[in-house]
Structure 1
Amino acid sequence: MDICAEQDAVDIQNRLLDINKRYEGLKSKAHTKSRDLTDAKRKLTQEAGDTLDHLKDELDGLHQTVTNADPIPSSPEKLRNEIDENKAVLEDLEHQKQALAKAEDVAKNPKAYGVEDLTDAEELQHKYKEICDMSKDIRLMAEARDKNLTTALKLSERFYDMSVDVMSGLRDPLEYTAV
């Protein structure tokens, strides 16, 4: 039973692929703009405590992204999209290395940043430790997800190729019997 003509199906598929490509492009641009805004916000932040708080907020966002990621899909195209999103998280972590280095400097030398009170200095060190732990956890989760997505993509591509072969094998005899 055909729902639409072959050419219409091809047109619909091409339109869907085009829309998906534009969506992925917009998502990538939004991610880049978000990263630029984060950098600008970081440059405007002067106080040591605020710097650590902003970094922690950024890491919280990445943690939410990794923790609430969609389940691993089965189609190769969706898997590639998930891999791209996961790579963006890893790139963001890499991008934050400079901020982590500054956070380490703040935690080790609080007096250089105008923090004289011992309890404030201890609080900065505690925040830095929390930030380091969170960054490590996010990296481990993202790397594990990347490994799982890559493995699933290999299997999905192989399964997809096999299913296309089987479907074409099923169609060929049907075409000959209809004649």
Structure 2
Amino acid sequence: MDPITLEPNPAGGHCGDYTLAVAGAIAEAVRVLNYATLPHNAAAGAPYPSTLYDIASRLRTAAAGTDQLFRQMEDRLTVIAATREITVSHGPFPTDPAAAVARAVEALQWCNRAASMFAAALADAHNALSPLGVRIPADPDDAPGTADDSDSGEGWA
């Protein structure tokens, strides 16, 4: 995928192509995270519980913003339907654009509710991951349990 510079207010203004590129970057980011956490990649891609904690935190932040996105998409569709002639190319309402728009609005409202539930679930996962860590020996040659834990120079991750 081509790299994209993420700008909330791009210098040239917003355009449909840039908006679609950002949505594509989100899809690509999820794909990369999926690969990073595959069993054969996970030791490097997600080495510690703290890594999983941070992933959950960042995804929670992203998910928390999607309810706003879906509300704004719903609002935009409503404005378009009120100001332009909507056509329907296929689906259950080929001759009833108003019904097709109403169905799309309903679907976006469901996305909004699902986004809120997803954000709440990620917050729960983030909290559950919070206390977890692994003991990291100060010297990789130290065998677990051979050093005095009170002053071993070990850390947590």
Q: Which TM-score applies when normalising by structure 2?
A: 0.49
- Higher helix fraction: Structure 1 or Structure 2? 1
* Structure with max Cα Rg: 1
Q: Which TM-score applies when normalising by structure 1?
A: 0.44
With CA pairs under 8 Å and 6+ residues apart, which has the higher RCO, 1 or 2? Answer: 1
